[in-house]
Structure 1
Amino acid sequence: MKKISFLIICLSFSMIQCQKNNEFTSENNFSYKAETVVDGIEIGWGLEFLPDGSILIAEQEGALILFKDGKKTNIKNVPEVVYKNQGGLLDLKLHPDYATNGWLYFSYSANTENDDEGANTAIMRAKIVDGSLVDKEMIYKATPNTKKGQHFGSRIEFDRDGYLYFSIGDRGNRDNNPQDVKRDGGKIYRLNDDGSIPSDNPFVSTAGAKAAVYSYGHRNPQGMAMNPQTGKIWVHEHGPQGGDEINIIHSGKNYGWPLITYGVNYNDSVITENTSLPGMEQPLHYWVPSIAPSGMTFITTDNYPGWENQLLVGSLKFKYLNLVKLQNGKVISEEKLMEDMGRVRTVKIGPDGYIYASIEQLGIVKLVSN
């Protein structure tokens, strides 16, 4: 009896040590571990690396944190955010020529009208000088404000031509916003880097349309990345219960929400019987059940054998980093990485070629070979 108890204790201790060290082995027997680089971050919604190797982190509650030389400091003069439910300080993106022009772009839930109607998604750019945001420019503010706290969207990306893309979710108004290009919400937008409207945006000549809209019929896109091989913008978005999607974005296309979906309402009732309709795009991939995807990047490094050019997607619901394996532009399989470490909010490839992930209630971790 004593020997059995001792064995159980040893096995338990071994399991605790393995979890403590955050050591994992991939399906192709690549052994890796997750090292905590920045701790004490509640919800690090956005993550970017500055040219000097320091890290910028958007804490959802409203702090823009600079991690440099092992220390965290808060950038000053950050605009007031409406921190509610899914709203707050959200994504971050450096201008492709940041080293020259210093422009930082970020999304947040804002009430610039100073009314009592809640908030909507805003995109601002600014520069960091002496630890403070300066030259702040609002380049897009969605309207109208709403007191609903969900579906701000808010991911930001640049393409090869320097166009700025960003997402705004349907803001909890699925029956009116996503299918109407005259309304904000449920859209992917495209702007010039200064906030002006590109002349070839698909709806610039449509009377009453939001000229910044690039595609529509989206629910709540919280992942966006440019495919480095094709230059196309890929997004993923939350479905309801089931029906999370990966989509490749094309000008003027309708991605169907809520007229088509592979999901159902949270009470299991049917939203629509249709999973396809004429004139509406099919997803490249969808998840049933939902994994609650957040954050997205392509692996552009050879630090991880067999993972080159594959896609990474965070799972909030199931608490893992999803390795989406691609072949000829199609999803062929998936693998769960860093299982049970926590809700993965965003993921990036650092300038050192390593994977960095923001895990809620933990901080920023780095995946290195073990």
Structure 2
Amino acid sequence: MSLSRTLLFTLALSLPLVALAASSLPSSLPPSGPKVQILTEGLEYPWSLSFLPSGGFLLTERSGQLVTLGSDGQVLQKLDVNLPEFYAAAQGGLLEVLLADNFAQSGRLFLSYVCGTANANSVCLASASWQDNQLTDVKKIFRATPDRRGAAHYGGRMVQLPDQSLVLTLGDGFDYREQAQNKANHLGKIVRLQQDGSVPADNPLVGQAAVAAEIFTLGHRNVQGIVYDVATGSLWSHEHGPKGGDELNLLQAGVNYGWPVATTGIDYTGARISPFTRFTGMAEPVYQWSPSIAPAGMTLYRGEAFPQYQGNIFITALAGKALHRLVLDGDKVVEEEKLLTELDSRLRDVRTGPDGLIYILTDGPAGKLLRLTPQ
């Protein structure tokens, strides 16, 4: 059995259906909580953060810049990324940067971004090589179909699985929410791809007629957080609900997560989206938020700097302006704590660093890179 097939089989069995020098910020947290430091200021709508093996960071700015930071947070370079058919507007633009697992040897990375025009755009995925602080060999390897109008609900988060395949989240396009149940396209789906953009032979819907073979899961609204836990083999995601109904989900290959048939959220007009909060054959969320917190980034902590946080999920919230810490007992959330509320800031991304510290990007035209350290 291939590693890829073994991973899907394991998931199917184990998961239920259901720049400045650092300076401290004021904190109202108890002494046992983390200390907040500013590493970098003046970032333009930062969206995604990654860690360079030699130290320092690569991050994306939604307008199309790939930013290199030193280990102290100093901005070393802002590179305008020349991506095929790049389109930036509203929620669209340059989204995730993901370094391949063998990046230290290969220099390979992946960029999710919005491509097309105002009247016909979608999410694209590109691969590239990072050499001497420059992008080379940039290739578009996947474009989600169909194109849509508008500039909202793209998803765009990525994770690499142990079999080296890539999982990419795709939003429902806001005005196209019913398409999240249509297996013939990519709207409101999470897809799984090989590193050249091709379809893994063991994807759950491969071989079905009139079905997009890239689909890994379906029935999503706007997934902006996904993480693979190497300790348990679990694949977690969260997604924006409308007015309420934000969800935390455990992903299982081929499963339908309900949107918009089953949701606890209501429309922004106050109208009911669906009469169902649950529906036969569709997985229920592990956890949900109403009113909406607008979840953005996510990390599952497996570092050593914060032993009290081992195995906890951290989620950044935009509308909620907080860092949410979720304590797990198996596949259940047993406790939630809101951190960093004193910052009164929209929080975009959160990552566990190779040093075991927690790093956060704030959202906005003057975004910051923050670092959480033990007291």
TM-score clears 0.5? yes
Which of 61, 64, 67 does residue 65 from structure 1 map onto? 67
Contact 2:177 2:221 in 1 (8 A): no
The DSSP-based 3-state class of the residue aligned with 1:36 is: strand
Contact 2:326 2:333 in 1 (8 A): yes
The DSSP-based 3-state class of the residue aligned with 1:178 is: helix
Aligned to 1:25: 29
Which of 320, 323, 331 does residue 321 from structure 1 map onto? 323
Amino acid at match of 2:82: V
Larger Cα Rg: Structure 1 or Structure 2?
Answer: 1
Are 2:342 and 1:350 aligned? no
**Pair 161,368 (structure 1): closer, same or farther in 2 beyond 3 Å:** same
**Pair 331,116 (structure 1): closer, same or farther in 2 beyond 3 Å:** closer
**Pair 95,20 (structure 1): closer, same or farther in 2 beyond 3 Å:** closer
**Pair 289,76 (structure 1): closer, same or farther in 2 beyond 3 Å:** closer
- CA shift, 1:20, in A, is 7.3
Give the fraction of aligned pairs with identical amino acids, expressed as a percent: 34
- CA shift, 1:283, in A, is 0.6
Are 2:100 and 1:92 aligned? no
Aligned to 2:10: none
**Deviation by residue 1:279-328 (Cα, 9 ceiling, x = unmatched):** 10111111111110000001111312421110000010121111111112
Amino acid at match of 2:235: I
Instruction: State the distance in 2 between where 1:150 and 1:279 align.
Output: 28
Aligned to 2:239: 237
Contact 1:22 1:35 in 2 (8 A): no
Instruction: State the distance in 1 between where 2:76 and 2:216 align.
Output: 37
The DSSP-based 3-state class of the residue aligned with 1:275 is: coil
Alignment of 1:116-265 (within 5 A): 117-265=119-267
**Deviation by residue 1:181-240 (Cα, 9 ceiling, x = unmatched):** 101210000012222211111121112221111110000000000023222211100001
**Pair 144,197 (structure 1): closer, same or farther in 2 beyond 3 Å:** same
Contact 2:46 2:367 in 1 (8 A): no
The DSSP-based 3-state class of the residue aligned with 1:272 is: coil
- CA shift, 1:177, in A, is 1.6
TM (norm. structure 1) is 0.90
TM (norm. structure 2) is 0.88
The DSSP-based 3-state class of the residue aligned with 1:23 is: coil
Are 2:121 and 1:102 aligned? no
Instruction: State the distance in 1 between where 2:295 and 2:118 align.
Output: 31
Instruction: State the distance in 2 between where 1:76 and 1:59 align.
Output: 10
Instruction: State the distance in 2 between where 1:122 and 1:232 align.
Output: 26
**Pair 20,354 (structure 1): closer, same or farther in 2 beyond 3 Å:** closer
Structure of greater relative contact order (alpha carbons < 8 Å, 6+ residues apart): 2
Gaps of 5+ in 1: 1-18
The DSSP-based 3-state class of the residue aligned with 1:72 is: strand
Instruction: State the distance in 2 between where 1:153 and 1:175 align.
Output: 13
**Pair 55,337 (structure 1): closer, same or farther in 2 beyond 3 Å:** same
Worse overlay, 151-160 or 193-202: 193-202
Instruction: State the distance in 2 between where 1:294 and 1:340 align.
Output: 18
Instruction: State the distance in 1 between where 2:310 and 2:301 align.
Output: 6
Instruction: State the distance in 1 between where 2:333 and 2:267 align.
Output: 26
Instruction: State the distance in 1 between where 2:118 and 2:61 align.
Output: 24
Instruction: State the distance in 1 between where 2:56 and 2:286 align.
Output: 35
Instruction: State the distance in 2 between where 1:142 and 1:269 align.
Output: 30
Gaps of 5+ in 2: 1-22
Aligned to 1:269: 271
Instruction: State the distance in 2 between where 1:340 and 1:150 align.
Output: 29
**Deviation by residue 1:72-93 (Cα, 9 ceiling, x = unmatched):** 3123543163111110110111
Instruction: State the distance in 2 between where 1:179 and 1:314 align.
Output: 27
- CA shift, 1:175, in A, is 4.4
Contact 1:76 1:132 in 2 (8 A): no
Are 2:337 and 1:335 aligned? yes
Aligned to 1:298: 300
Contact 1:295 1:346 in 2 (8 A): yes
